Chains A and B, each alone.
Chain A
Amino acid sequence: MLVLSRRPQQSFIIGHDIVITVLEVNGDTVRLGIAAPRDVAIHREEVYRELQQANTTAASPSSDAVAAFTQRASGKPSKDEEASLPQE
């Protein structure tokens, strides 16, 4: 990892168009300003990791699970409930 020291109001440039500026240092908190092109998404790392896991867990559900959920969400009885109805 590259390690650099900066003072408040000093910046880094990453590539040609991402500028990171140290705005304020207060105890154990550093405030940074980030200027980047619109198509560069910026996330706090822990949030990114959690979201990545959430998306991976959500991705490509089985068609059975989708059918069961859709049935519940639309207020129709599930197959199990139908099956347990008394026979006429």
Chain B
Amino acid sequence: MIAADTLPGSKTGGPAQPVIRFASGLVGYPSAQRFVLEQSDGGVFELRGLGEDDPDFLVVAPAPFFPDYAPVIDDETVERLGLRGEKDALVLLVVTLRDRPEDASANTLAPLVINARTRDAAQVVLTGQPFSLRQPLLAS
């Protein structure tokens, strides 16, 4: 099925929100498979799980924080997500917040890769690439 799965617009009457599908869930949350992405300020997004017990995640676009971030997505993932080229792939990083905002970190080792065309997504472990599960975000 090609048609994008959508939710009705938000209560503010905005456009319908496309549903992002993680067919295998996320590690630790195998049943969390349907999310919507909501944009906040400063390149920050909230990824909201649609299931009753699904988690929400704060995620960021890499570019504002790590301009040199250039992950290589393996062929299996490219095929699994049906990525036809770099433009198809929306890469987002999961943020871990701690008591102080300046201690926030991003998971650059296992980014969320979303096919912007089909909304199929996966959390991809970049084996063998020099990234971190806890890369500081707001270097002081």
Chain A residues in the interface with B (C-beta under 8 A): 38-41, 43-44, 47-48, 50-62, 65-66, 68-76, 78
Q: Which residues of A contact B28 (CB under 8 A)?
A: 51-53, 55-56, 59
Of the A-B pairs whose beta carbons lie under 8 Å apart in the complex, a sample of 8, sorted by A's number, is A38-B76, A51-B109, A54-B134, A55-B26, A55-B27, A58-B57, A59-B29, A66-B58
A58 to B79, CA, bound (A): 28
**Which A-chain residue is minimally distant from B32 (CB atoms)?**
A59
Interface bin, chain B:
35 or more
**Which B-chain residue is minimally distant from A36 (CB atoms)?**
B76
**Which A-chain residue is minimally distant from B30 (CB atoms)?**
A41
B37 within 8 A of A: no
**Which A-chain residue is minimally distant from B137 (CB atoms)?**
A73
Q: Which residues of B contact A58 (CB under 8 A)?
A: 57-58, 94-97, 107
Chain B residues in the interface with A (C-beta under 8 A): 23-24, 26-29, 40-44, 46, 55-58, 60, 64-65, 76, 79-80, 94-97, 101-102, 104, 107, 109-110, 122-123, 125, 127, 133-134, 137-138
Is there an interface contact between B102 and A54, defined as CB atoms closer than 8 Å? no
A33 to B54, CA, bound (A): 33
A85 to B85, CA, bound (A): 49
A50 to B122, CA, bound (A): 17
A43, A65, A69 pick with most chain B CB within 10 angstroms: A69
* Least distance between B135 CB and chain A CB atoms (Å): 11
**Which A-chain residue is minimally distant from B134 (CB atoms)?**
A54
**Which A-chain residue is minimally distant from B106 (CB atoms)?**
A58
A76 to B29, CA, bound (A): 33
Is there an interface contact between A70 and B44, defined as CB atoms closer than 8 Å? yes
A54 to B111, CA, bound (A): 12
Given A56-B28, A70-B41; A38-B79 close (CB under 8 Å): yes
